[in-house]
Every structure is written in C-alpha cells, then in structure tokens.
C-alpha cells in the first residue's frame, strides 16, 4: 500500500529583498515534522515531481522551489547570480516551518548542483549536508572550457528564457545545428550567434565580455576562507563523461586544498562511468560503450541512505568503504581510495616521437614511446580558420553529438590531411589500469599570436574500435593561466602543459594501444579562433590567419604524455 502524500501548492517563500519564490511542498502524510530536502531549480518545480514523490515516500519533506524569475517565482532570472543569498534564505525559512524538524538538506544536479555550493557558501545554520551532483562551475566548464566558448551556452539560454520552460525550442536539434552552421560557414563573429538564432540576449553578451577567469566568476565560487569554514558532510557526484565534471571536481579539489581536516574528512566523492544525465539516472551504455551492469546504482536509494546517515543517525552507505569511490570501466567494478593522490602509484611517461616528422596520418602516425628521443624532426600541422570541411562533416552527421565524438572519433578521416597530429603507443603487454588525470606536456612553435587546441586521448582496441578516454581544450594565450593572456611570439618554442583533462578510470586491455590526437577544435559547436590575437568573439573572415603548428620532441624539448597508472 502506497504511503499517503500531501501537497501544498503555490507556497511563497520570502527573500530578504521582499521577492517571493514559489514552492511546491510534498509532505509524507504520516509524519508531523521531518528533515526537509529542497531543490532550487531554473527548470520549474513540476519537473521534480517524480523525485519529490519518492523522497516523501521515504519520510522526508521535499520542497521544489523555482529560481527567482522562473516558473511562478517573483523577481528576474539571472543565471548563477542570486542562488547564494536565495539558497540561504530558503534554508532558514524551511527550518522554521511546523512540518520541518529543523534539519535541511538539498538534492539536485548540474545547475541545481551548483546551487548547493552557492547555498553552502552562505552557511545557513539549518543546512546539515549537501549532495552536489554534476555541479557546473561558470568559467571552468560552462559556458567556456579552456576559455573557449560553447555554442550550447545560447541554446541553454533558450530553455530558461522567460518564466516557463521552452523545451521544444531547446530540443529542436535541427534548428540549432543549422544556426551553428550558418554562423560557422559564413565566418561571422561568434558574438553574433544570438542574433543569427533570433534570440538577442544581454546575458549571452555579458558572458562573452568575461572571456577569461575574473572577479565575475570568482563570485560564483567559495573563497579559501569559506572552504576552511565548511564542517558538514558532503557527497560530491560526477561521471567520467559528465560535461560538468570539471566543475564538480573544481569544487571538490578546492575544498581538499583549503578545507580544514575535519571538513575534508567528511567530504566523499563518487565518480561513475556516466555522462551528465547519467549522474542522476545511470545508464550502462554511454555513447555506444557498454560500461557494465555494476554501474547501475539506484541514485534515489543512495541519496536516501546518505540523508538517513547524516540526518537520522543511520548507518553509513555501504558503497562508501573509503572517502573516494570510483568505477573502473572494462572491469565492471567499483574501487576505493582515501584521496585522489593515492589512487595511482606510478606516473608513466610516453614520449612523443615520429619518423622524419610524419605524424599527420592514422596509418603513418607518430609514436608514444617509453624512452625519450635524442634527435627528431618536429611534427607540423596547419589550421586554416576558413576551411569549413570539418563543420560540413558535422552537419552531415545523422546524430547530434558535440564536437568530442565517442566510439568513432568524429572527423577522424579529416585528420589525415595535415590538419592534426596523431600518435599511437605500442600495444600494451598486459591489462593496465589508468585512473586519474592525464597530462600532456608539449613544446610548440607557432607562426600566429594565438590559436586553440583540442587534445583527445583514446584507447584503440585490437578490433580497431576506438573508445575516447579523456579530452582537453585550451586557448593558446592562456597556456600559463586562465586568468592571464600572454600572446604567442611567432617563431618561439613555448612549453604547453595541457592539464585540463577530466578524470577517468579504465582497464586497458592487453593488446590495446593509446591514440593521442592534437588538433584545432574547428567545429560548428565551438567559438572559432581566427588566430589574429584579437578579441576572439569579434573575429571574422577578415581576421583569419592560417596557423602552422610545430610540435618538438628532441633532447631539448621532450614532449610527453603523463599517465597515472595503478599497479
């Protein structure tokens, strides 16, 4: 027999500036006062109905709250701006309601994961724990990555424009692909994307004005002192292929860096083999790759176990044998560690090399060698911003995937015409676990003041099938810091440390090889760099310069791929 459920519709929660936020309250019918879970969402409260019913069935009060300016809430919606103070005021208001026992927690992923960190930032007294899932971090993973803008930033704005959801516009894949391609093929400035799409947007233009990390983004983070003050249990959740993993890991790693010992010891991390949506509803098949049945966690049940542990003195969830729980793909098993730093016990360096500079072809690629080289001719590729063949490949693709590709690396055929550098390792002599963050150190000379890089690492099975492991994007002028622009001096060899690769864990099969591809992200889905060294969002065909990229690997400049190996 199902438990009785009571709803309170149109509940108004007052904020300190007298704006009222709309909430729907789900009450377990047989409970007088209970711990209360809430979600602050820009996607309107109704989308949370299924989760709310579930948690109310577990004896919790669940409150779905529309962000200000969204749904039935008052005020004006400004993405990522008001969630800290609003979150604090919601917690304090909830804690004083007769149906709340004084303990408040949160649920939610992506934007609602970010909201949890922003609410904690204000330290409301009644907030007892948070479970930020796939938490986005503006300036780190959205709307930019490596200071390169994603076109999807505007597409997302279409979803949250006005008061009610615009799901049909947002989900019209054909419309967005055509608009992205229109901007791309006509070499229009990226700043005109909102006009091309018929969606003029002040917030999109505002985001473009903050094209590198600055105080605008810092306001959407905790300060070192705020990280030190944290003293409640936290469960962070992300996935190997979570689009917002960089954001989720940013918050986690900042807490590990600045937090007190007590705070760090209460922070748990769960990393599954999931994509963004899979962090809430796991799937075993991700991008055409079968991850294994063991990854199919019941996330509602896991959240309940966590809340019961913290709020009701229940047992600690059995999954958390240690503070870090991660999934090893291809082995179909969960593994555990005390910290990220203790997972791998070997850093294996594979040195980039080639035969007389031949590294532009899958069949005649460069190599990834365990021993360094003494002398070698540099490898070269070119990137012409006016070349639209990659975008045409993307437009002709039947599936709507982002520029990353999955099992079949999109555009790999194009990467055989001096537009990329490709390196392969020797076949692995035994099954080998790689877990953590890989890093590429590359010595590069360019003839232009700026360009963008897209680095992709894949496993190539003996069958020839490729499985993407991790990927990093970076604008050259930000090679030393995402906060500081240093344009390239043509003809000078510069050291690049590509460290923005997401965490992954995979058991590479005996006989598999690694494939490393270095190229320009010449894609309809990303802001295009025309290589002039100017304001990239304002560049167009008239600014285009063809980049010639030389990658060195000799006794002086030892370019290398660094792998975290678990023995």
Q: How many CA atoms lie within 13 A of 472 on its CB side?
A: 23
A 10 A CB-CB count for 400 gives 12
> How far is 456 from 447, CA to CA, in rounded Å?
23
The CATH number of whichever domain residue 304 belongs to comes to: 3.40.50.1820
Comparing CA positions, the residue from 17, 270, 222 lying closest to residue 120 is 222
Question: Taking the chain, what is the end-to-end CA distance rounded to the nearest angstrom?
Answer: 51
Q: ∠389-390-393 over CA atoms, to 5°?
A: 90
**By residue range, what is the domain housing residue 157?**
153-209
List, for residues 146-195, the tens digit of each pLDDT value: 999 999 999 999 999 999 999 999 999 999 999 999 999 999 999 999 99
- By mean pLDDT, which of 128-132, 205-209, 371-375 is the weakest? 371-375
Average pLDDT over residues 477-493: 97
Model confidence at 3: pLDDT above 80: no
> How far is 73 from 140, CA to CA, in rounded Å?
29
Q: In the chain, what's the furthest Cα-to-Cα distance?
A: 77
Provide, rounded to the nearest whole percent, the portion of the chain with pLDDT above 70: 96
> How far is 456 from 83, CA to CA, in rounded Å?
35
**Model pLDDT, residue 398:** 58
What does the DSSP 8-state code read for residue 430? Answer: S
* 3-state DSSP assignment of residue 112: helix
Q: Are residues 139 and 193 in the same domain?
A: no
In this structure, the dihedral spanned by the alpha carbons of residues 440, 549, 443 and 511, taken in order and rounded to 10 degrees, is 40
Model confidence at 408: pLDDT above 50: no
Length, in residues, of the chain: 567
Model confidence at 476: pLDDT above 80: yes
Q: Name 218's Cβ contacts closer than 8 Å, sequence gap at least 6.
A: none
Categorize the per-residue pLDDT at 403 as very low, low, confident or very high, splitting at 50, 70 and 90.
very low
> How far is 469 from 474, CA to CA, in rounded Å?
17
Burial class for 293, CB neighbours closer than 10 Å (0-12, 13-18, 19+): exposed
Q: Are residues 203 and 306 in the same domain?
A: no
Per-chain mean pLDDT for the chain: 94
Average pLDDT over residues 495-515: 97
Categorize the per-residue pLDDT at 405 as very low, low, confident or very high, splitting at 50, 70 and 90.
very low
What does the DSSP 8-state code read for residue 75? Answer: S
Model confidence at 82: pLDDT above 50: yes
Q: Are residues 164 and 298 in the same domain?
A: no
Q: ∠251-561-255 over CA atoms, to 5°?
A: 15
Q: Name 106's Cβ contacts closer than 8 Å, sequence gap at least 6.
A: 37, 38, 39, 40, 112, 115, 116, 119, 127, 130, 131, 132
> How far is 14 from 232, CA to CA, in rounded Å?
26
116 in the Ramachandran plot: left (φ > 0), alpha (ψ -120 to 50) or beta?
alpha
List, for residues 348-397, the tens digit of each pLDDT value: 999 999 988 899 988 889 999 998 876 789 999 999 999 999 999 998 87
**Model pLDDT, residue 375:** 72
Name the phi and psi angles at 253, rounded to 5: -70, -35
* 3-state DSSP assignment of residue 199: coil
> How far is 429 from 112, CA to CA, in rounded Å?
44
Joined together, the tokens standing for residue 427 give 């076949």
Domains of the chain: total: 4
> How far is 148 from 527, CA to CA, in rounded Å?
6
List, for residues 249-302, the tens digit of each pLDDT value: 999 999 999 999 999 999 999 999 999 999 999 999 999 999 999 999 999 999
- By mean pLDDT, which of 95-109, 356-370, 519-533 is the weakest? 356-370
**Model pLDDT, residue 31:** 80
Domain C-terminal end among 172, 191, 209: 209
**Model pLDDT, residue 372:** 80
* 3-state DSSP assignment of residue 64: strand
A 10 A CB-CB count for 479 gives 20
Helices (H) and strands (E) in the chain, counts: 14, 26
What does the DSSP 8-state code read for residue 531? Answer: S
Joined together, the tokens standing for residue 168 give 């049909």
Q: Are residues 225 and 205 in the same domain?
A: no
Q: Are residues 404 and 321 in the same domain?
A: no
Q: Are residues 187 and 297 in the same domain?
A: no
**Model pLDDT, residue 363:** 85
Q: Are residues 383 and 516 in the same domain?
A: yes
> How far is 190 from 208, CA to CA, in rounded Å?
9
> How far is 549 from 490, CA to CA, in rounded Å?
10
Joined together, the tokens standing for residue 313 give 């003195």
Residue 366 near residue 159, CB atoms below 8 Å? no
Q: Are residues 383 and 474 in the same domain?
A: yes
Average pLDDT over residues 76-97: 97
A 10 A CB-CB count for 490 gives 12
A 10 A CB-CB count for 82 gives 21
Query: Is the sign of the CA dihedral 475, 478, 484, 488 positive or negative?
Result: negative
Residue 539 near residue 417, CB atoms below 8 Å? no
Categorize the per-residue pLDDT at 400 as very low, low, confident or very high, splitting at 50, 70 and 90.
very low
Comparing CA positions, the residue from 419, 412, 420, 368 lying closest to residue 393 is 412
Name the phi and psi angles at 415, rounded to 5: -80, 25
> How far is 464 from 472, CA to CA, in rounded Å?
23
Categorize the per-residue pLDDT at 411 as very low, low, confident or very high, splitting at 50, 70 and 90.
very low
Q: Are residues 173 and 43 in the same domain?
A: no
Q: Are residues 138 and 158 in the same domain?
A: no
Q: Are residues 77 and 184 in the same domain?
A: no
Comparing CA positions, the residue from 38, 47, 42, 43 lying closest to residue 11 is 38
Q: Are residues 158 and 244 in the same domain?
A: no
> What is the bridge-based pairing of β-strands 420-425 and 432-436?
unpaired
Model confidence at 503: pLDDT above 50: yes
Domain C-terminal end among 175, 193, 209: 209
């Amino acid at each position: 027999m199902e438990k009785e459920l009571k709803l309170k519709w149109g509940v108004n929660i007052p904020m300190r500036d007298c704006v009222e936020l709309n909430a729907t309250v789900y009450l377990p019918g047989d409970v007088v006062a209970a711990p209360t879970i809430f979600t602050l969402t820009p996607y309107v409260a109704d989308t949370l109905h299924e989760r709310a019913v579930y948690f109310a069935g577990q004896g919790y009060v669940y409150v779905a709250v529309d962000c200000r300016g969204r749904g039935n809430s008052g005020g004006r919606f400004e993405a990522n701006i008001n969630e800290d103070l609003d979150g604090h005021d919601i917690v304090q208001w909830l804690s004083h309601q007769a149906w709340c026992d004084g303990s408040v927690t949160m649920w939610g992923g992506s934007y609602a994961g970010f909201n949890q960190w922003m609410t904690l930032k204000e330290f409301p007294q009644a907030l007892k724990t948070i479970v930020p899932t796939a938490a986005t971090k503006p300036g780190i993973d959205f709307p930019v990555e490596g200071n390169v803008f994603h076109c999807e930033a505007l597409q997302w704005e279409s979803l949250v424009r006005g008061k009610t959801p615009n799901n049909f516009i947002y989900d019209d894949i054909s419309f967005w692909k055509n608009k992205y391609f229109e901007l791309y093929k006509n070499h229009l400035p990226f700043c005109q994307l909102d006009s091309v799409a018929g969606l003029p947007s002040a917030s999109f233009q505002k985001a473009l004005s903050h094209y590198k990390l600055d105080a605008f983004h810092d306001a959407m983070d905790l300060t070192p002192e705020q990280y030190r003050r944290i003293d409640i249990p936290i469960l962070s959740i992300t996935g190997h292929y979570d689009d917002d993993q960089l954001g989720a890991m940013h918050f986690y790693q900042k807490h590990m860096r600045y937090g007190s010992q007590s705070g760090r010891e209460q922070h748990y991390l769960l990393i599954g083999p999931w994509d963004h949506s899979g962090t809430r509803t796991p799937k075993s098949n991700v991008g055409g790759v079968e991850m294994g049945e063991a990854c199919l966690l019941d996330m509602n049940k896991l959240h309940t176990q966590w809340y019961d542990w913290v709020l009701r003195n229940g047992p600690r969830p059995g999954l958390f044998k240690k503070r870090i729980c991660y999934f090893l793909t291809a082995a179909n098993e969960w593994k555990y560690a005390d910290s990220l730093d203790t997972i791998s016990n070997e850093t294996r360096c594979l040195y980039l090399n080639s035969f007389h500079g031949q590294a532009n072809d899958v069949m005649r690629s460069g190599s990834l060698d365990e021993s360094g080289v003494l002398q070698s001719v540099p490898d070269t590729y070119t990137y012409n911003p006016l070349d639209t063949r990659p975008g045409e490949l993307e437009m002709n693709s039947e599936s709507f995937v982002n520029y990353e590709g999955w099992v079949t690396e999109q555009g790999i055929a194009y990467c055989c015409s001096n537009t990329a550098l490709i390196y392969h390792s020797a076949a692995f002599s035994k099954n080998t676990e790689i877990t953590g963050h890989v890093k590429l150190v590359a010595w590069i000379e360019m003839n232009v003041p700026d360009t963008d890089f897209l680095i992709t690492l894949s496993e190539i099975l003996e069958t020839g099938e490729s499985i993407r492991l991790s990927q990093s994007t970076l604008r050259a002028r930000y090679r030393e810091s995402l906060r500081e622009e240093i344009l390239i001096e043509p003809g000078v060899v510069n050291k690049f440390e590509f460290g923005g690769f997401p965490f992954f864990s995979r058991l590479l099969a005996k006989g598999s090889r690694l494939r490393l591809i270095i190229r320009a992200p010449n894609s309809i889905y990303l802001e295009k760099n025309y290589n002039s060294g100017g304001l990239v969002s304002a560049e167009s065909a008239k600014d285009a310069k063809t980049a010639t990229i030389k990658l060195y690997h000799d006794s002086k400049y030892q370019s290398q791929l660094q792998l975290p190996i678990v023995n």
